[in-house]
Amino acid sequence: LRQKTPVRYDEARSCWDVFRYEDVHYILKNPKLFSSERGSGTLQGSILTMDPPRHTKMRNLVNKAFTPKAVKDLKNKIEEVTLYLLDQVNEKGTMDLVHNLAGPLPVIIIAELLGVPAKDRDLFKTYSDVLVAGAKDNSNEAFQRMAQKRKEGSEFIKEYFKKIILERKVNPEEDLISLLLAAKIDGEKLTEEEVLSFCVLLLVAGNETTTNLITNAVRYMTEDKNIQEQARTNLPLIPKLVEETLRFYPPIQAIGRVTKEQVKVGGKTIQKGEQVICWVASANRDEQKFAEPDRFTLERKLNPHLSFGFGIHFCLGAPLARLEAEVALVTLLSTFAKLEGVKGTELEAIPSPFVFGVKRLPL
Contacting positions for ligand HEM (CB under 6 A): 36, 47-48, 59, 110, 201-202, 205-206, 209-210, 213, 251-252, 255, 307-309, 313, 315-317, 320-321
Residue 36 backbone dihedrals phi, psi, to 5 degrees: -100, -5
Inter-axis angle of helices 192-223 and 318-335, to 10 degrees? 40
Distances (CA, A) of 353 to 156, 207, 214: 26, 18, 19
Q: How far apart are CA 206 and CA 78, in angstroms?
A: 15
Residue with smaller CB distance to ligand HEM, 95 or 315: 315
Nearest residue (CB) to ligand HEM, 5 versus 76: 76
Taking the complex as a whole, the smallest distance from the CB of residue 182 to ligand HEM amounts, in Å, to 19
| CB neighbourhood size of 209 (10 A) | 22
| For ligand HEM, the closer CB: 104 or 251 | 251
Judging by DSSP bridges, how do beta strands 275-279 and 15-18 pair with one another? Answer: parallel
Supply the minimum distance, in Å, between the C-beta of residue 301 and ligand HEM: 22
> CB of 193: closest distance to ligand HEM in angstroms?
17
68 or 139: CB nearest ligand HEM: 68
Rounded Cα distance, 37 and 355, in Å: 21
Strands of 1-86, DSSP E: 7-10, 15-18, 34-35
CB 95 within 8 Å of CB 336: no
Smallest gap from Cβ 29 to ligand HEM, in A, equals 11
CB of 180 to ligand HEM, least distance (A): 12
Kindly state the smallest distance separating residue 204's Cβ from ligand HEM, in Å: 9
Q: Which is nearer to ligand HEM, 228 or 245 (CB)?
A: 245
Instruction: Choose between 30 and 335: whose C-beta lies nearer to ligand HEM.
Output: 30
Closest chain position to ligand HEM (CB): 317
* CA 206 to centroid of chain Cα atoms: 5
